[in-house]
C-alpha cells in the first residue's frame, strides 16, 4: 500500500549543515560529471516525488550529507554541487508511492546506485535490509520495509573521465589493430579465470585487468595466434541471493548492476584507468577486445528480489511489467526481470554505456547476451526494432563489431539468422552439427556441409557474408572441449541444484568410460576427436571462436553449467599436469594455417560451380567428393549411413595471385576407410599440411610408390589411394598450375 509519509522528501536530517553551494545544474549528461568548480548530478525518474543525493566519507561507511535535488527537466532530477571533487562517494534515495500493483516500488529507506556510476566502491552484502518489502511477510512484496540498507551497499564514486578521454584521443594504437571480422579468430575468456592461477603473475594482479595486461598473459595469446579476446561480463555485477545463501558466487558475471562501472573485484587498484591500460596493452600486441554485455536484465531479479537501483528509482520505467498486474515482471530472460529497452531513457542508457566503453575505454565491439530481448517490441521480435535502429545509425557504434546471442526464453525467442545486416551471430546450429557429426550420428553429411560452408541458409538471404556466422564448438556455457569427449552426462552436483541445472543433451560421448581414464585406446580416441573438432572449426567458413583452455585440454570434471564455481574448476590450469602441450602445439598450427590461407575466411559465400569447369576458372570454389573421389550427387548426399567425404577449396588462397587448393579428407566413421583423392586437372601433387591420426596407427598408402604423411606441415606426397584411420582427418594442399 502507498504510505503518504514517504511521498515527499524529509528536510530535517540529523546531519551537519551542508557546506556546499547547490545550484540548478544541467539534466545532461546523466550521471555525475566533474568540472573545475564541482560536480553535476543528474538522475532520470518519471514517477518520483523527490530525489536526495547522499554523500559518504572516503571509506563509504558514514553518510555525511543529504542534498535534495529539486530541479526537474524532462523528468530528470538534477543539481550542481559546488566545491565537490572527483573521488567523492555518493548514492541516492528516491521518494514516491509504494504501489506494486501499479508498478511503483519507491522506498527512501533503500540506498540506490546511480545507473550511470563510473565506479563502485565497497562490497554488496546480502541482508534483509536490501529488500523493499518485509521478508517472510504474509503479503510478500506488498509489505513495506523501513530497514535502512546503507551499511550493506557499495557506493558510487565520482570519476573524472576527462583524462581518459584525452588519452583515448591521443592514442595511435587502436586504428592500427582493427581488422575485418572475417579475418578474426576469437578467444572467449573469463577475465579472472585466465590469470587467477598463473604462476608468473604477481598475486595482487592475478584475476584482474592488470593481470591480463601482463607480459606472460599477452605473450601466451600472441603465441597462440588469436586476434581477439571476448571477455565474459566485466561490467559491475552482483551475486544472486540464492547463491550467496549456498556460499557460492556468480562467477560468470551475467547479473549486471552497473553498465558503466568495471567490476570492482577485477581492479588491482582503485583506478579504473587500469581497464584502459589493459586494452591498450592488448592492442599493442595486435589483439582486439570484445565485451560480453548484459542489457537484457539486471541484478535486482524478480519482484521478490532486492532493491538496488532501477527498481527504487523508477520501476515502472526501467522494467517491462505485466500489463494486468504490474507487481509481476515480464521474464523473457529467465533471470527474473527484463529491462524495458523500449523506453527512451533506458534506450539512451544502453547507447550511452556502449559509446562509453568504445570512446573512453577503447573496446572494439560487443557480444550481446540474450539479444532477442533487445529486438523485442510489443508485438514480438523485429530486426527493425527501435534498439537496432538507434544502434546502427549511431556514428560511433555502427563502426564496431556487433555479435548477437540470437535467442532468449521469451515468445519467438529463437532468432538465428534474423538479426540486422551489421550483426554477426553465435551459431548454435554449427556447434550441434559438428558435435553430432564427429560423434558419429547418422544422416549428418548435408548438415555438416552447410555449416562448414558458412551457414548461408541462415545468413545469405539477407545479404550477409559468412562472417555473420560465429562458429563455435564450446563456450563458457556447457562442456569444455575435453569434457565433450569424456562425458556423456552432466555432473553438476557442486552447483547445489541436485544435478538438475545445465543442458541435458550435449551431443557428447565418453568413448567407453565416463570421465577420466588411463585406458590408452580411449585416451587416443579422445585426443583425435578434440583435434578433429578443432580442425573443423579453424577450416570452416565463418568466424571461429575458441573457448579459453580448450587448446590445452582444460576440464571442468563434467560440470556443464559452472556459472557459480569461482575456483580451480573454472580457472585456467597453467600447471604441467593440467596443460596438454601437444594439443596446444596442434592448435597453434591450425591457427597459423588459417592465417596462411585467407580464403578460409572468404568475404563472400562461395557458390557451387559446374563439375566440368576446371578449378582455375573461378576465383574461389568449394567442391565436394565422396571418399571414392567422385563428385557428390543427390543420392550420395542422402546416404544416411555415410560418415565420410572429401572437400576441395580452391582459388586465390593467398590473395597474391597464386592459385592454390586445399583438400580435406574426413572420416567420422568408427572404422578405417580407404580414400581415393579426387582426380583434378592443373594440380601439382597433394602435400600434407596436418592430420589427426594417431602416430602409432597412421594410415597406410595402398599403392607402393608413395609414403604416408608423417605429421603436421610434412611435405610428403598423397598416394593415389590411402587408408584413413577411424575418426580422423587429413589436410593437404597443392598449387594450381595454369
Catalytic residue among 274, 369, 408, 425: 369
Retrieve residue 496's grid coordinates: 547445489
At 169, which helix (H) or strand (E)?
Answer: helix 162-170
The predicted structure's pLDDT at residue 12: 42
Retrieve residue 476's grid coordinates: 563458457
Query: What global pTM score does this model have?
Result: 0.95
In CATH, the architecture of 606-735 is: Sandwich (2.60)
The predicted structure's pLDDT at residue 27: 98
CATH topology of domain 184-478+541-552+580-599: TIM Barrel (3.20.20)
Retrieve residue 266's grid coordinates: 577485477
Retrieve residue 86's grid coordinates: 572527483
- Could you give phi then psi for residue 288, rounded to 5 degrees? -85, 165
Q: Is 447 among the residues known to form the active site? A: no
- The DSSP annotation for 289-332 comes to EEEEE--S--TT-STTS---SHHHHHHHHHB-B-SS-TTSBP-S
- By the 8 A CB rule, do 96 and 7 touch? yes
Q: Is 101 exposed, middle or buried (0-12, 13-18, 19+ CB in 10 A)?
A: exposed
Measured distance CA(130)–CA(278) in Å, rounded: 34
Residue ranges of the chain that CATH labels 2.60.40.10: 4-160
**Cis peptide leading into residue 29 (ω within 30°):** yes
At 730, which helix (H) or strand (E)?
Answer: strand 728-735
Angle at 596 between CA 708 and CA 527, to 5 degrees: 50
Q: How, if at all, do strands 687-691 and 186-189 pair? A: unpaired
- By the 8 A CB rule, do 70 and 24 touch? no
Radius of gyration of the chain measured on its C-alpha atoms = 28
Measured distance CA(284)–CA(177) in Å, rounded: 8
Retrieve residue 87's grid coordinates: 573521488
Residue ranges of the chain that CATH labels 3.20.20.80: 184-478+541-552+580-599
b/e per residue, 103-119, with b = 16+ CB within 10 A? bbbbbbbbbbbbbbbbb
The predicted structure's pLDDT at residue 683: 86
Taking residue 516's Cβ as centre, other Cβ atoms within 10 Å add up to 11
Q: Mean pLDDT in each 10-residue stretch from start to end of the chain (738 residues)?
A: 39 53 97 98 98 97 96 98 98 98 98 98 97 88 95 98 88 74 97 98 98 98 98 98 96 98 98 97 96 98 98 98 96 98 98 97 97 96 97 97 98 98 98 98 97 98 96 98 98 97 96 97 97 98 98 98 98 94 98 94 82 59 95 96 96 68 96 93 89 69 45 52 94 86
Measured distance CA(113)–CA(92) in Å, rounded: 7
Measured distance CA(9)–CA(421) in Å, rounded: 49
Q: Strand ranges (DSSP E) for 627-718? A: 644-651, 660-667, 673-675, 687-691
Residue ranges of the chain that CATH labels 2.60.40.1180: 606-735
Query: What SS3 class is residue 6?
Result: helix
Which residue, among 450, 463, 466, has the nearest Cα to 598 in the 3D structure? Answer: 466
The predicted structure's pLDDT at residue 14: 44
Which residue, among 288, 263, 293, 308, has the nearest Cα to 371 in the 3D structure? Answer: 293
Which residue, among 223, 178, 227, has the nearest Cα to 595 in the 3D structure? Answer: 227
Q: Is 405 among the residues known to form the active site? A: yes
Which residue, among 38, 28, 132, has the nearest Cα to 76 in the 3D structure? Answer: 28
Kindly tell me the sign of the dihedral angle through the C-alpha atoms of 315, 319, 322, 327: negative
Retrieve residue 158's grid coordinates: 565520482
The CB-side HSE value for 272 (13 A sphere, CA atoms) comes to: 30
The predicted structure's pLDDT at residue 652: 72
The predicted structure's pLDDT at residue 8: 41
The predicted structure's pLDDT at residue 718: 66
Taking residue 686's Cβ as centre, other Cβ atoms within 10 Å add up to 24
- By the 8 A CB rule, do 152 and 129 touch? yes
Catalytic residue among 240, 274, 405, 566: 405
Q: Strand ranges (DSSP E) for 84-135? A: 89-95, 98-99, 104-105, 120-121
Q: Taking the domain 4-160, which CATH number applies? A: 2.60.40.10
- By the 8 A CB rule, do 620 and 606 touch? yes
Measured distance CA(275)–CA(715) in Å, rounded: 45
Amino acid at each position: 500500500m502507498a504510505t503518504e509519509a514517504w511521498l515527499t522528501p524529509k528536510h530535517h536530517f540529523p546531519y551537519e549543515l551542508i557546506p556546499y553551494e547547490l545550484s540548478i545544474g544541467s539534466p545532461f549528461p546523466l550521471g555525475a560529471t566533474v568540472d573545475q568548480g564541482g560536480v553535476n548530478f543528474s538522475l532520470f525518474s518519471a514517477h518520483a516525488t523527490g530525489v536526495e543525493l547522499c554523500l559518504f566519507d572516503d571509506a563509504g561507511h558514514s553518510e555525511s550529507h543529504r542534498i535534495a535535488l529539486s530541479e526537474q527537466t524532462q523528468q530528470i532530477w538534477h543539481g550542481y554541487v559546488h566545491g565537490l571533487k572527483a573521488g567523492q562517494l555518493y548514492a541516492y534515495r528516491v521518494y514516491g508511492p509504494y504501489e506494486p500493483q501499479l508498478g511503483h516500488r519507491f522506498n527512501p529507506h533503500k540506498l540506490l546506485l546511480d545507473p550511470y556510476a563510473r565506479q563502485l566502491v565497497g562490497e554488496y552484502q546480502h541482508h534483509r535490509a536490501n529488500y523493499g518489502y518485509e521478508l517472510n511477510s504474509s503479503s510478500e512484496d506488498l509489505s513495506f520495509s523501513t530497514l535502512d540498507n546503507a551499511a550493506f551497499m557499495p557506493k558510487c564514486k565520482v570519476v573524472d573521465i576527462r583524462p581518459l578521454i584525452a588519452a583515448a584521443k591521443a592514442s595511435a594504437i587502436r586504428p592500427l589493430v582493427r581488422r575485418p571480422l572475417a579475418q578474426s579468430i576469437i578467444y572467449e575468456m573469463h577475465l579472472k579465470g585466465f590469470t587467477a592461477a598463473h604462476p608468473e603473475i604477481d598475486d595482487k594482479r592475478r584475476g584482474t585487468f592488470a593481470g591480463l595486461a601482463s607480459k606472460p598473459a599477452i605473450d601466451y595469446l600472441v603465441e597462440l595466434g588469436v586476434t581477439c579476446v571476448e571477455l565474459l561480463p566485466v561490467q559491475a555485477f552482483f551475486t544472486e541471493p540464492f547463491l550467496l545463501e549456498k556460499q557460492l558466487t556468480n562467477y560468470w558475471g551475467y547479473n549486471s548492476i552497473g553498465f558503466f562501472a568495471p567490476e570492482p573485484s577485477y581492479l588491482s587498484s582503485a583506478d579504473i584507468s587500469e581497464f584502459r591500460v589493459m586494452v591498450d596493452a592488448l592492442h599493442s600486441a595486435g589483439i582486439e577486445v570484445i565485451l560480453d554485455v548484459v542489457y537484457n536484465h539486471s541484478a535486482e531479479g524478480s519482484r521478490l528480489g532486492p532493491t538496488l537501483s532501477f527498481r527504487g528509482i523508477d520501476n515502472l520505467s526501467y522494467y517491462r511489467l505485466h500489463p494486468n498486474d504490474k507487481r509481476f515482471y515480464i521474464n523473457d530472460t529467465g533471470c527474473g526481470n527484463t529491462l524495458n529497452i523500449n523506453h527512451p531513457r533506458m534506450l539512451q542508457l544502453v547507447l550511452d554505456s556502449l559509446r562509453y566503453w568504445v570512446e573512453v575505454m577503447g573496446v572494439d565491439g560487443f557480444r550481446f547476451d540474450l539479444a532477442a530481448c533487445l529486438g523485442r517490441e510489443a508485438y514480438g521480435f523485429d530486426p527493425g526494432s527501435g534498439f537496432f535502429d538507434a544502434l546502427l545509425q549511431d556514428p560511433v557504434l555502427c563502426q564496431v563489431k556487433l555479435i548477437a546471442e540470437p535467442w532468449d526464453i521469451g515468445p519467438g525467442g529463437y532468432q538465428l539468422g534474423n538479426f540486422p545486416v551489421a550483426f554477426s551471430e553465435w551459431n548454435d546450429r554449427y556447434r550441434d552439427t559438428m558435435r553430432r557429426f564427429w560423434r558419429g550420428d547418422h544422416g549428418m553429411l548435408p548438415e555438416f556441409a552447410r555449416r562448414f560452408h558458412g551457414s548461408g541458409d541462415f545468413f545469405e538471404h539477407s545479404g550477409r557474408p559468412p562472417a555473420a556466422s560465429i562458429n563455435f564448438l564450446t563456450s563458457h556455457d556447457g562442456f569444455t572441449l575435453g569434457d565433450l569427449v569424456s562425458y556423456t552426462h552432466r555432473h553438476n552436483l557442486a552447483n547445489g541444484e541436485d544435478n538438475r541445472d545445465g543442458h541435458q543433451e550435449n551431443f557428447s560421448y565418453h568413448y567407453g568410460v565416463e570421465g577420466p581414464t588411463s585406458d590408452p585406446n580411449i585416451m587416443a580416441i579422445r585426443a583425435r576427436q578434440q583435434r578433429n573438432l578443432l580442425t573443423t572449426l579453424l577450416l570452416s567458413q565463418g568466424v571461429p571462436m575458441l573457448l579459453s583452455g580448450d587448446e590445452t585440454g582444460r576440464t571442468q570434471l563434467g560440470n556443464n553449467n559452472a556459472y557459480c564455481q569461482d575456483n580451480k574448476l573454472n580457472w585456467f590450469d597453467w600447471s604441467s599436469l593440467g596443460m596438454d602441450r601437444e594439443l596446444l602445439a596442434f592448435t597453434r598450427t591450425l591457427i597459423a594455417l588459417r592465417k596462411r590461407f585467407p580464403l578460409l575466411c572468404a568475404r563472400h559465400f562461395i557458390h557451387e560451380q559446374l563439375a566440368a569447369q576446371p578449378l582455375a576458372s573461378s576465383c574461389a570454389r568449394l567442391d565436394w567428393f565422396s571418399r571414392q573421389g567422385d563428385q557428390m550427387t543427390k543420392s550420395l548426399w542422402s546416404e544416411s549411413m555415410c560418415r565420410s567425404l572429401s572437400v576441395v577449396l580452391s582459388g586465390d588462397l593467398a590473395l597474391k595471385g597464386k592459385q592454390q587448393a586445399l583438400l580435406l579428407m574426413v572420416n567420422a566413421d568408427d572404422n578405417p576407410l580407404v580414400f581415393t583423392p579426387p582426380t583434378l586437372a592443373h594440380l601439382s601433387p597433394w602435400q600434407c599440411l596436418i592430420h589427426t591420426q594417431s602416430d602409432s596407427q597412421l594410415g597406410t598408402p595402398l599403392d607402393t610408390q608413395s609414403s604416408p604423411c608423417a605429421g603436421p606441415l610434412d611435405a610428403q606426397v598423397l598416394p593415389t589411394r590411402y587408408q584413413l584411420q577411424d575418426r580422423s582427418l587429413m589436410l593437404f594442399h597443392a598449387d594450381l598450375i595454369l
